[in-house]
Amino acid sequence: METIKSIPNLKNLSTLLLENSTDQNKVESVIQEIYLYFHELTEMSNYEHEIKHLAAVPTAKGMALSLKHAADCFLDYKRTVKFLQGMVEAIKAKQEKYPDEKIQIFYAGCGPFAPFVTLVAPLFEPEEIQFSLLDINEGSIGLAKKLISTLKLSSYVQDFHLADAIIFKIPSPDSFHIVFSETLDAVLNRESYVPILWNMPRKQTQQVNAPT
């Protein structure tokens, strides 16, 4: 990989992805640029060859992706764009329904790059949206905190939770407008997407659907 020569404007890059979602070449170029940037900021190269960061993590039902593979999900271009579109559309829909409220988002399975904070937050103001993040992998939570802080997006984040999303009980679940689980990989192979969504609160929330 080439070293990035300048700091990218994440708001502009997220907008490019949304406006060019059907242009596969453009999508791949933009996502690769962001991936390289996040890879450098988190010093991901220090984690890519250790067994503990390559091994899947046992959960109450199934397995969670390793730190390395969770980061690499960002390069699943169509998945990343679909999830980005879904999250932005869900936020805008909730803003229309609750115009006087700050939209609260619970994000399970954020991985080390927390892409649907780091790509989404720059499109809004912290007075408009707030995230609470969860991941079962301590390394992923640590790097997500580091990345969000380095990008100066901490004002968008209310809480970080190190826990298994299958059994974790969301504090004050009725306060959340959107529940998002970034845990779909390889058509449910190994991962526990269905048990996680079954465990997540559904009353008065909008769940961001998986890409189709």
Q: Are 148 and 117 in contact (CB under 8 A)?
A: yes
More confident residue, 136 or 131: 131
Q: What's the CA angle centered on 61, arms 55 and 64, to 5 degrees?
A: 30
pLDDT digits (tens, 9 = 90+) for 69-100: 889 999 999 999 999 999 999 999 999 999 99
| pLDDT score of 204 | 41
3-state secondary structure at position 153: coil
Residue range 19-25: mean pLDDT, rounded? 96
Q: Which two tokens stand for residue 35?
A: 């991936």
Identify the structural domains of the chain with CATH numbers, from first to last: 10-207 (3.40.50.150)
pLDDT digits (tens, 9 = 90+) for 168-194: 888 888 899 999 888 765 544 555 666
